[in-house]
Amino acid sequence: MFESQNCKSRPLPTGDASSEQYPSVTAVPRTLRSKLCLGLVGFIVTILVALGGVWFYSLSTLDSELTALRAKGLPTTAKELTDFYAVPNGIADTTNLWVSAINSVQAANLRTRASALPIVGTGPTPIPAPGQGWAELEAVRTLLGELGGEFQAIRLAAEAGGQVRFPVDMSAGIATLYPYTEASRVVARLLTLDAHVCAHDGSSSQALHDIRAIFALSDALRGEPTMISQLVRIAIYAVGCDLLERLLPYCEWSDAELESLQTAIRSARFKDEMRNALSGERAIFLIALDDMPLGPFRQSNAREALQFYETAIEGLSGSWPEARSQQRELDARINSLTGLSRLRFTFVSMLLPPLELATVADTRADARQKCANAAIAVERYRQKHNRLPQSLAEIEQDLMGFSSEPAAELIDPFDGQPLRYQVEAARILIYSVGENGQDDGGDCPRDEERRPLDIGFILKVPDSR
């Protein structure tokens, strides 16, 4: 009884005292959650600050790189590219002359009028050599006779030389069209057809003017700031070399005329022109990048592309084999992007040009240039000494044409070795080993449909003409 009353009279803790002496079972978890939330918020803020710092650093670095390019006079925007695509000071601007010539040929409607003829239409090729029967000869003569005004415009432009800046709006970036550049190929084909007729008619001097006009047209495109335009320039140059190879055995050209052909052939500077084109391609990439919804990836794509282009352009300062190796490595780096890297640099992998293929095209053009120049030197040597040289090294330097590096004129750009010189019973072969780097014995057939393994010039010896 006493114990029961004593228990009843014991006061129970209440109010603040109960909170201090008997903590709630939910107090500790609430405190832990608060700390976790604060920690998470702090972590997120830290990450955002870090990302902001990286973004700001990337942006400022990109701005510095672009500023450095502008200081060198290289384009980074549409306006700058428009200004960059210009005829340099000291070089004749023959844009109006070539535009007039191209427009006149386009208006001649050759697709319809000459559809059954070779070269400009779908008529049979190759054209028979001078002295052999040519079924379409009269039809071709008739067509060419109707194009007197067009040829006058072409020859006026060719004789003026210079360089063009076609009326192209570069602000369209990758969507830019180059109608005049593409149409210039038709002009080259028309000149080719005329040269064949002149050779058949025994007018060697006029055939010479046609060949030189083709090289003049190719040279007019040398300042084009895009890869596709440079490939057109190279294609027209190849037309001139091929035509020279076909007609040289049948045209009686003097030493002075042959020397003038060498001057026309040697004027191209393919490495410099490729560097110029890559500078334009870089600007086109940046223009396109500004139109893409890439968000924070824009700066990273731009910086990555700038690095690729800079390495590619620097790679052209060495030999052609070194340049090809450098571009091959860059292509491999792009193709090796996987996972997050490929996602991050999607635009880079999509729009960078195939650098190795472009370099191979330029190297082939350089090889073709050297073989053609050497072939003319062989013919000049034959006319001077009344015999063929035993080797290319036997040819006097003045017959090779002026060069600040004469030894380089006879070096194969694909392997760094001397051009191959092979004398056969009916022909002489001067050739490069081509992109496979192997000597395939002068495998450079002229009329077969397959692509030859070697790149060269076939010169018939006098007794076989």
Q: 422 forms bridges with which residues in the sheet? A: 429
For the chain, the C-alpha Rg in angstroms (whole number) is: 35
C-alpha to C-alpha distances, 103 to 155, 161, 162, 165, nearest whole angstrom? 14, 18, 18, 15
SS3 call for 19: helix
**455 phi and psi, to 5 degrees?**
-120, 120
* Residue-level pLDDT at 10: 43
- Model's pTM, two decimal places? 0.85
C-alpha to C-alpha distances, 242 to 254, 329, 352, nearest whole angstrom? 20, 32, 31
Q: Where are the domains of the chain?
A: 75-291, 293-353, 355-465
- Whether the CB-CB separation of 457 and 374 falls below 8 Å is answered with yes
* Residue-level pLDDT at 441: 87
* Residue-level pLDDT at 340: 55
| CA atoms of 245 and 247, how far apart (whole Å) | 6
Angle between helices 148-160 and 204-220 (to 10 degrees): 60
* Residue-level pLDDT at 403: 73
- Whether the CB-CB separation of 120 and 189 falls below 8 Å is answered with yes
* Residue-level pLDDT at 38: 66
* Residue-level pLDDT at 31: 74
SS3 call for 460: strand
* Residue-level pLDDT at 57: 45
Mean pLDDT per block of 10 residues along the chain (465 residues) reads 44 45 51 68 59 50 86 93 94 97 96 94 93 96 97 97 93 88 96 98 97 98 94 97 95 96 95 94 87 67 84 88 85 71 62 80 95 96 94 93 79 94 90 92 76 89 58
Query: What angle (nearest 5°) sits at the alpha carbon of residue 306, between those of residues 301 and 311?
Result: 130
Closest CA to 280 of 238, 227, 242, 319: 227
| CA atoms of 132 and 369, how far apart (whole Å) | 29
| CA atoms of 98 and 155, how far apart (whole Å) | 10
SS3 call for 432: strand
* Residue-level pLDDT at 307: 85
* Residue-level pLDDT at 414: 94
* Residue-level pLDDT at 35: 64
* Residue-level pLDDT at 343: 54
In this structure, the chain runs to a length of 465
* Residue-level pLDDT at 36: 66
CA contacts within 13 A on the Cβ side of 313: 19
Identify the sign of the CA torsion 443, 445, 450, 451: positive
- Whether the CB-CB separation of 413 and 367 falls below 8 Å is answered with yes
Q: Exposed (0-12), middle (13-18) or buried (19+): which is 415, by Cβ within 10 Å?
A: middle
- Whether the CB-CB separation of 87 and 162 falls below 8 Å is answered with yes
* Residue-level pLDDT at 445: 77
Closest CA to 154 of 183, 132, 175, 131: 183
